């Protein structure tokens, strides 16, 4: 065999040893400019297990899905009007992506706009700031699997009181 053929054979053997699927790392950018209002624990000290971003003018500041990479976001709209400063967790508008490993990433507590409707999209405008949330008027970003919230995606990235620009790194999904 020629040296080239041996090299190609060695590369093929190494490729066979590699995992069939590599983990995709996806950066989560701030879906709106604002301040991190809560992370693992809420201001009351209760377990929260997500990132809340408080910002923008209720009903007017646009919110996007905020995750780099091609993802199919299932957008479900449960409110018929603009809700501001309601501090409750009833009917919510939700954008959700479920990964192959069973983890789900959700953006909740946003207002519907003229462009907001039940649909599947990628990197889209999903609504506007506001809606039911604790603290009131905040966007909730949550990763979970089988009902258990995962906080590792934002650990070391998002801190309470931190001001975020639109698109600024909030955490990493892997």
Tokens linked to 166: 């639109």
Is 145 domain-assigned?
A: yes
Query: For the whole model, what pTM was predicted?
Result: 0.77
Print the domain residue range for 94. Answer: 24-173
Is 133 domain-assigned?
A: yes
pLDDT of 51:
93
- CA–CA distance, 63 with 72 (Å, rounded to integer): 16
Query: The domain that contains 166 carries what CATH number?
Result: 2.70.70.10
How many domains is the chain built from? 1
Q: For the segment 155-172, what is each residue's pLDDT rounded down to a tens digit?
A: 999 999 999 998 899 999
* Best mean pLDDT range from 18-27, 39-48, 90-99, 114-123: 39-48
- CA–CA distance, 35 with 25 (Å, rounded to integer): 24
In terms of Cβ atoms closer than 10 Å to its own Cβ (0-12, 13-18, 19+), residue 36 is buried
Q: For the segment 101-119, what is each residue's pLDDT rounded down to a tens digit?
A: 899 998 888 887 777 766 7
């Amino acid at each position: 065999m020629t040296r080239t053929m041996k090299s190609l054979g060695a590369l093929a053997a190494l490729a066979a040893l590699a995992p069939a699927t590599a983990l995709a790392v996806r950066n989560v950018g701030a879906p709106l400019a604002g301040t991190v209002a809560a992370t693992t624990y809420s201001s009351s000290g209760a377990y929260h297990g997500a990132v809340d971003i408080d910002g923008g003018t209720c009903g007017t500041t646009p919110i996007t899905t905020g995750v780099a990479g091609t993802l199919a976001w299932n957008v479900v709209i449960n409110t018929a009007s603009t809700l501001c400063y309601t501090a409750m967790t009833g009917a919510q508008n939700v954008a959700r992506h479920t990964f192959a490993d069973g983890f789900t990433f959700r953006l909740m507590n946003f207002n519907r706009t003229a462009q907001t409707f039940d649909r599947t999209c990628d990197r889209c405008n999903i609504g506007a700031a506001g809606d039911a949330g604790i603290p009131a008027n905040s966007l909730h970003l949550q990763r979970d699997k089988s009902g258990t919230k995962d906080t590792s995606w934002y650990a070391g990235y998002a801190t309470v009181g931190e001001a975020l620009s639109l698109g600024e790194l909030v955490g990493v999904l892997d």
